[in-house]
Amino acid sequence: AQKITQTQPGMFVQEKEAVTLDCTYDTSDPSYGLFWYKQPSSGEMIFLIYQGSYDQQNATEGRYSLNFQKARKSANLVISASQLGDSAMYFCAMREVSGTYKYIFGTGTRLKVLA
Amino acid sequence: NAGVTQTPKFQVLKTGQSMTLQCAQDMNHEYMSWYRQDPGMGLRLIHYSVGAGITDQGEVPNGYNVSRSTTEDFPLRLLSAAPSQTSVYFCASRAPVSNEQFFGPGTRLTVL
């Protein structure tokens, strides 16, 4: 069965430093997608970045990059040059491409950026 | 485009009452889904639909019904509300060849 694990309930990072948020996954499907979402205190869900299981390169979107290690089944989010506005809850999610179209979310990591 | 809209934003129900959470999207997306978010649990999929007339169960479907008569609308019905259904509910939609799900603003439901 699909599973997403985020082992860091909370993280602190100093402003302008980089931070890595961990995500490991489990699936038997060879074709899947991995996602990261940001949820600020206002509550909305904001899509950040996507990585396909067959993508050769790690995904990047501005200050966000996804460190995809397929053999380890990990998909860590790296935020470079942290800003105060990055303080939020971050969720890792997975969708198997074949079959059910279901998304599975992790329990989230709360990131606090310190001035 | 309004994106994904949800009504109401807040709702308080008594145990045993029924209600419908509304979700609509104007992006002509085939895939729509409902999630609930509870503290420490992340988002859990309730029901989803891959097109008008097609729905399927997610991870936590018990106590909820859905139907999809149009591409635009995907209402979620609580048949007999229970305190365990107190949660924040999100609706989302996705285009067929896109990787991005668009989420609505959420509905905060309290069942007393």
The percent of residues above 70 in pLDDT, for chain B, comes to 99
Q: Testing the interface with A: which of B47, B103, B108, B109 to mutate, by most A Cβ within 10 A? A: B103
Q: How far apart are CA A102 and CA B73, in angstroms?
A: 19
Is A104 an interface residue toward B (CB < 8 Å)? yes
Amino acid in the structure at residue A82: S
HSE-CB for B13 with a 13 A CA cutoff: 25
- Please check whether residue B112 is in contact with residue B12, taking contact to mean a CB–CB distance below 8 angstroms: yes
Q: Testing the interface with A: which of B4, B9, B37, B68 to mutate, by most A Cβ within 10 A? A: B37
Confidence at A100, pLDDT banded by 50, 70, 90? low
- Closest by CA position to A61, among listed A36, A88, A83: A36
Query: Dihedral angle at the C-alpha atoms of B56, B59, B65, B69, nearest 10 degrees?
Result: -30
End-to-end CA distance of chain B: 36
Is A57 an interface residue toward B (CB < 8 Å)? no
Q: Helix, strand, or coil here: B83?
A: helix
Is A62 an interface residue toward B (CB < 8 Å)? no
Amino acid A2: pLDDT:
82
Q: Do A52 and B99 touch (CB under 8 A)?
A: yes
Is A23 an interface residue toward B (CB < 8 Å)? no
Nearest CA in chain B to A8: B40
Q: Do A91 and B41 touch (CB under 8 A)?
A: no
User: How far B57 CA sits from the closest chain A CA (Å)?
Assistant: 9
Q: Which of B44, B99, B102 sits opposite A33 (nearest CB)?
A: B99
Q: How far apart are CA A60 and CA A51, in angstroms?
A: 9
Both tokens of B33, joined, read 């889904």
pLDDT tens figures, B49-85: 999 999 999 989 999 999 999 999 999 999 999 999 9
Is A91 an interface residue toward B (CB < 8 Å)? yes
Which residues, including other chains, have CB under 8 Å from residue A54's CB and lie 6 or more apart?
Answer: A31
Both tokens of A17, joined, read 């430093």
pLDDT tens figures, B16-34: 999 999 999 999 999 999 9
The helix or strand, by DSSP H or E, that contains position A21, with its residue range, turns out to be: strand A19-21
Confidence at A99, pLDDT banded by 50, 70, 90? low
pLDDT tens figures, A34-72: 999 999 999 999 999 999 999 989 999 999 999 999 999
Nearest CA in chain A to B97: A97
Q: B85 φ, ψ to 5°?
A: -90, 5
- Please check whether residue A31 is in contact with residue A51, taking contact to mean a CB–CB distance below 8 angstroms: no
Q: Do B42 and A43 touch (CB under 8 A)?
A: no
- Mean pLDDT value across chain A: 93
A14-37 average pLDDT score: 94
The percent of residues above 90 in pLDDT, for chain A, comes to 84
CA A68 to chain centroid:
10
